[in-house]
Amino acid sequence: MPAAFRRHTEATMTLTFDGTVIVPVADPDDGKQTTTALVSHLTDSSHVVLVNVIEKGGGTIDKASPEQRKEYADEIFAAARKPLADSPAVIESEVLYGTAVAETIFAAATERDAEAVVFSPRKSNRLVELLSGDVARQLVKNGSVPVVALPQNS
Domains of the chain: 20-149 (3.40.50.620)
Average pLDDT estimate for 60-88:
88
Q: What pTM was computed for the model?
A: 0.80
pLDDT-based confidence at 12, cuts 50/70/90?
low
pLDDT band for position 4 (50/70/90)? very low
User: Quick one: which H or E segment has residue 102?
Assistant: helix 101-111
| CB-based burial, 100-134: b 16+ in 10 Å, e otherwise | bbbebbbebbeebebbbbbbbbbeeeeeeeeeeeb
Confidence (pLDDT) at 5? 39
Model confidence at 153: pLDDT above 90: no
Say how far apart CA 142 and CA 138 lie, in whole Å.
6
Lowest-pLDDT choice from 2-6, 29-33, 79-83, 104-108? 2-6
Given a cut of 90, is residue 56 above it in pLDDT?
no
103 or 152: which carries more pLDDT confidence? 103
Mean per-residue pLDDT for 44-49? 96
